[in-house]
Structure 1
Amino acid sequence: MDNANVLGDYLRARRGRVRPEEVDLPPGGRRRVPGLRREEVASLAGLSVDYYTRLEQGREQHPSASVLNALAGTLRLGADAQRYLFAIATPGPRGAAHRRRSAVGENLTALVDEWRDHPALLVDSLNDIVAANHLGRALYSDVGVGGNTLRFLFLDERAPGFHREWERTTASTVAAVRAAAAHTPDDPELMALIGELAVRSPRFARLWARADVREKTTDVLQVRHALVGDLDLVYETFRPTSAPDLLLKVYRALPGSESADKLAVLGSLTAGAVQEAGDARAQVKKT
């Protein structure tokens, strides 16, 4: 993916999402593009039209914090979107390869493994599943440890059948990918994955062009699992201090719910596979 003018592309996308009436401008008049005109953004942000035009065209690449704050207010950016704006406008040193994955300590993997009643996953900045407990592997058996949940969601024909609200899930996921890019704006592997998905998935390309930015901290995962049917699972996302470039996702069913019963059944049905995997790991350690 060409990142030569990430800031300009983002500003254009976001001004296209703001309706004139949202910023107290008259909605009428003939507009060649949806949203705000360049001169309207410049005026509302207290900038000259020439300076704002240079920002969008990539000819000005060092806006001050006050300029970015003014643009964030004009474009009605939320907290996650503001962080993304500052990350792409004021990136860190370039040139060195980005190290995208921390070493996963034994204590962290043991903690994940020992969650018996809740599916738990460790995922990296690319949405690769780095580690998972028994129920996590059973829940995401179509992806697997080492697999990529983004590629599954957008490129695997099974995904719309697995995710009961596939369209909502894809939209929130793409917004979360942009939020993740605020943490690692120079990650070449993440940019390559975004480029791959934009080429291979029209749905991803459309959603990426909307330029939504929103962290996925908590939500409800609604899936249709091949073994147990419909599951509604609430999840929380954490960033471990021992591995800050990984995310820990923990899922739970409401106590006493049908999903809780089905999750227990899923654990029982897949217990044999878990025992075999544990025996294999033990044999590897011996050798």
Structure 2
Amino acid sequence: MTDNRLGEYLRARRELAQPADVGLPDGFGRRRVPGLRREEVAMLAGVSADYYVRLEQGRDKHPSEQVIEALAGVLGLDDDGVAHVRELARPARRRRRAPSRPERVSDGIQLLLDGWTSTPALVLGRRLDVLAVNALGASVASCSAPGVNQVRAVFLDPDARELYPDWDAVAAEAVASLRAAAGADLDDPALTDLVGELSLKSDEFRRLWARHDVRPKTSGTKRFRHPLVGELTLRYESLAVNGAPGQLIVAYHAEPGSPSEQAIALLSSTITRPAGGKPAADERSRV
């Protein structure tokens, strides 16, 4: 977490790029560094080697749109990666950081979640903290309890590898989603503390964070191993909460007619709801 965020990102992506990906033979010269050389990136992008070195070193932080597009092609960046470079290259406005306020979910959003009795759902904050969850969402995964940071849970909870059969993919997605959620605002003290803690305690997190992968949490498929109903394969969709910047509603659903749909129905039937249909407070936070 330094002021040279664009340079760090370009360096990380350059080291991951392979010569064969850009049409260079594997034995092109004697390589003492992983990935591509700076001169190779500059040549392929059509910029001077000195200019590209200045970008990586942070002596030039605002490349033009044409340069961004050229570098994206050489480094194999997807749309999310290109958007991230644009964000990092945007001139920062000097502003005084306001004291951080606790993220809260409105009563209306909580009522919406509670009304989805057959849909596991939760609300995540800008650092992927669980801010709210409905009873079924809390029953599906232990990392969905209010107050739990999902990235911390993936890497530090000893039960995470049992919960997620595809732990490696879940871990990579969690780190990339955290990068995307943070954007260029890596000065957030709570985010700095979270990244520092995980970097000290988890070699896997430290390796993945150094890759600078960026992938917003939008949609996908995730597998869970549940002690009561067995393995669940669920798709998820993420929806931004208007009026609450950084908050996402994440709703899970199973393929119609699938064993996972039947398992979710069984799990839902085990949740006790009062006559009004709203689960008790302890059910909403049960893990």
Normalised-by-shorter TM-score class: 0.7 to 0.9
- Distance in 2, matches of 1:91 and 1:201, equals 33
TM-score (norm 1): 0.88
The 3 A distance-change label for structure 1 pair 266 and 200 is same
- Distance in 1, matches of 2:249 and 2:88, equals 25
The 3 A distance-change label for structure 1 pair 131 and 143 is closer
The one-letter code matched in structure 1 to 2:182 is A
- Distance in 2, matches of 1:207 and 1:100, equals 29
Q: Report sequence identity in percent.
A: 45
The 3 A distance-change label for structure 1 pair 279 and 255 is closer
- Distance in 2, matches of 1:245 and 1:158, equals 28
- Distance in 1, matches of 2:69 and 2:52, equals 14
- Distance in 2, matches of 1:227 and 1:182, equals 38
| 2:113–2:122 contact (8 Å) kept in structure 1 | yes
Counterpart position of 1:264: 265
Q: Deviations over 1:100-134 (max 9, x none)?
A: 77653332222122111110110011111111111
Counterpart position of 2:19: 20
Counterpart position of 1:11: 10
**Count of residues in correspondence between the two structures:** 280
Per the TM alignment, residue 160 of structure 1 is displaced from its structure 2 partner at its CA by: 0.1
Q: Runs of 5+ in structure 1 lacking a partner? A: 281-287
Moved more, 17-26 or 37-46: 17-26
| 1:143–1:152 contact (8 Å) kept in structure 2 | no
Counterpart position of 1:54: 54
The 3 A distance-change label for structure 1 pair 16 and 196 is same
| 1:102–1:245 contact (8 Å) kept in structure 2 | no
Counterpart position of 2:160: 159
Aligned-partner SS, 1:16: helix
The 3 A distance-change label for structure 1 pair 93 and 188 is farther
Q: Deviations over 1:199-219 (max 9, x none)?
A: 211111111222222223211
- Distance in 1, matches of 2:51 and 2:283, equals 64
Aligned pairs (5 A) from 1:76-115: 76-90=76-90, 92-97=92-97, 103-115=104-116
Task: Compute the RMSD of aligned alpha carbons.
Answer: 2.5
The 3 A distance-change label for structure 1 pair 87 and 46 is same
Matched, 1:178 2:179: yes
- Distance in 2, matches of 1:50 and 1:89, equals 18
| 1:235–1:249 contact (8 Å) kept in structure 2 | yes
- Distance in 1, matches of 2:204 and 2:196, equals 13
| 2:88–2:184 contact (8 Å) kept in structure 1 | no
Q: Deviations over 1:66-94 (max 9, x none)?
A: 32222222212110011111212225424
The 3 A distance-change label for structure 1 pair 100 and 78 is farther
Per the TM alignment, residue 275 of structure 1 is displaced from its structure 2 partner at its CA by: 4.1
Matched, 1:140 2:141: yes
- Distance in 2, matches of 1:158 and 1:279, equals 21
The 3 A distance-change label for structure 1 pair 233 and 67 is same
- Distance in 2, matches of 1:279 and 1:157, equals 24
- Distance in 1, matches of 2:272 and 2:33, equals 56
Q: Runs of 5+ in structure 2 lacking a partner? A: none
